Structure 1
């Protein structure tokens, strides 16, 4: 279905009618993978799909029209960052995230849970999220100071911008995300790490389950209250770390709730990625989309697709590009190497993108060494 056909189909339904969101499964693989289409009020997403991350309402160094030209079907922004700056109320006043950033297609917002939880210990995601010294909006607390505290009602945290104190609960996260106005939102959850004890993982899983119920209740209350806005879909987030029984329990518990789709979250060991996705997908309803949070290494994406994930996001591809790590068909290489100083060939001779068709490795290396802003745009 084209964007025009999607818009025409939605004209028959009230603006915030739930029928404005849907998912159709296409072909299926024996391994659990599948193709499909996610329908949203702002257009369709052909799956499987990588969702570029525009943490602060922009994909860094790339214009929205360029994101679309490069194949991006949707953009995911972060509720934590936009709540603190410029404020979700301001974005609501502007007409929602898409209008604010001049992106006409579908939008996602994550709940901000990862950032808020990371304030407690400065922990890193295990897979594809290692901190290497570059600026990283996902890790807002990389020091040892504890800036957040979790309780059964929510999380109290200190802003990494100015030190002011704030409170996130399931209800507040839903209000913030409704004000941001994304087509797809994620329920507020507690993110744990692989070093947490089994006992704490069980306690956290129950807390996330109860928060999911509260998110759904507040989501439907706000949907009714904000009937002038298009319907926003809500995805539940599955935790459980590396434990099969906890992952399956989370999938069964949240799969029985009235979510529009599901996010697979938490710290994941690379070697267990496909196994964990298979566990949860075996328990989830077939007719709802599944989003893998924070994964982007090419081999991880192929494994995720094969085992049942429909969409995935991560800041890593654009972040490493700004730091001279380049993905090509032959793998990833670092452009800072001395051997590229006089290399006048393209980044990837088989690529038809603007950068590869017009610029040499030597020139791009020069831009990086000279700290020119154009480097980030061309390499992202």
Structure 2
């Protein structure tokens, strides 16, 4: 007898102010929230083994629909057993819709009511991505959490353009939902998230939330706030948006962000995050620690025998000297990317675990203030 498929669900376990402690259940396990999801764009978290990523505490990773549809192709991944098998990640996977990458990477794109036509940045091949095709691709990949196709415009933008994109995204949300149900996503225990748009216009954000709440999504995302706007704009939009969102559904802030972004956004009621920042920074010689950022390219580290953080549980942080890491970065060794990515993802997961524990015991504000104080003191605190 086949094992029963676990249905997608979300349980709100505790709150502390607006900060929320919850648990998402998917067919491939549970995700404790607030959660940071490492980005595995092309079926891999760059410079990391899958087991390493899981050992750091990550319970979900993100795959990218745009990149995977180009290479190796969603149909091929499906024939090979789905993305979980393909990338050796038997835990929860979230896939984005591909819309952001189409807008930012594709060549000669043309958007209309039906979808978006574009040429691949890889080989120039022409594609047509519609809300239906985006959900179909995600279904072929077999991801546990899927995203509607939306139009994500860069800020600043004219209010009329923001309004048009938001309204189009709502119409695409309805089509995405129909396709998700046609592919039996709910029966497979999967979830589909709607995406709140509206740029930096509070009224449009609220109208987007109101419209999306009429569609039975398993979760709701806040999109269009990792596109170059100042942090204060992002936080203002969250303060407007999250109180209007469903309290019994997970809230996902897409493409965010720095450790400070995560701390501030959890304080404003966000449950899920993803960002390339910790992995990309690691490949460029930048380490995140509880004392702030450490740029290992700087010559001042050349004879520094200290590790990044002797108290960290991560071997990359507590074992290797800054002098050695500096040497690896300066000589372009692959090990530099591996160790600094390892360190960065470890710090992000430690930060999220600290926030979860603080929300559980009602001390989030203390945790918030202490974390901010450590960052403000800077690396001198490690001396």
Give the TM-score taking structure 1 as reference length: 0.86
| 8 Å Cα contact 1:255/1:283 also seen in 2 | no
**Alignment match, 1:64:** 50
Aligned-pair distance for 1:312? 0.4
**Alignment match, 1:304:** 265
Q: Does 2:40 align with 1:54? A: yes
Moved more, 169-178 or 194-203: 194-203
Once the two structures are superposed, the pairs formed by residues 167-246 of structure 1 within 5 Å of their partners are 167-223=128-184, 230-246=188-204
**Alignment match, 1:367:** 328
> 79, 84, 87: which one pairs with 1:101?
87
Aligned mates of 1:150, 1:216 — CA distance in 2: 20
Aligned mates of 2:230, 2:197 — CA distance in 1: 13
Q: Does 2:246 align with 1:285? A: yes
Once the two structures are superposed, the pairs formed by residues 124-139 of structure 1 within 5 Å of their partners are none
Aligned-pair distance for 1:275? 2.4
**Alignment match, 1:21:** 8
Aligned-pair distance for 1:109? 0.2
**Alignment match, 1:4:** none
| 8 Å Cα contact 2:194/2:221 also seen in 1 | yes
| 8 Å Cα contact 1:273/1:303 also seen in 2 | no
Aligned-pair distance for 1:326? 0.7
SS of 1:72's equivalent in the other structure is: coil
**Alignment match, 1:255:** 213
| 8 Å Cα contact 1:274/1:304 also seen in 2 | yes
Deviation string 1:278-307 (CA, Å, 9 cap, x unpaired) is 322222211110111000211110111011
Deviation string 1:232-257 (CA, Å, 9 cap, x unpaired) is 21000111000100001111110121
| 8 Å Cα contact 1:273/1:300 also seen in 2 | no
Aligned mates of 2:211, 2:16 — CA distance in 1: 26
Aligned mates of 2:122, 2:114 — CA distance in 1: 24
Aligned mates of 1:272, 1:371 — CA distance in 2: 37
Aligned-pair distance for 1:261? 0.2
Give the TM-score taking structure 2 as reference length: 0.85
| 8 Å Cα contact 1:108/1:184 also seen in 2 | yes
| 8 Å Cα contact 2:14/2:22 also seen in 1 | yes
Q: Does 2:230 align with 1:269? A: yes
Q: Does 2:142 align with 1:155? A: no
> 93, 103, 124: which one pairs with 1:117?
103
Figure out how many residues of one structure are paired with residues of the other and give that number. 337
| 8 Å Cα contact 2:310/2:319 also seen in 1 | no
Gaps of 5+ in 1: 1-9, 119-139
Aligned-pair distance for 1:365? 1.2
**Alignment match, 1:87:** 73
Aligned mates of 2:93, 2:115 — CA distance in 1: 25
Aligned mates of 1:275, 1:94 — CA distance in 2: 44
Q: Does 2:22 align with 1:36? A: yes
CA RMSD of aligned residues (A): 1.6
Aligned-pair distance for 1:29? 2.1
Aligned mates of 2:239, 2:25 — CA distance in 1: 24
Deviation string 1:88-118 (CA, Å, 9 cap, x unpaired) is 1111112211111101110000001100011
- In the TM superposition, structure 1's runs of 4+ consecutive aligned residues that sit over 2 Å from their partners are 272-275
**Alignment match, 2:337:** 376
**Alignment match, 1:126:** none
Aligned mates of 1:328, 1:306 — CA distance in 2: 20
Gaps of 5+ in 2: 342-383
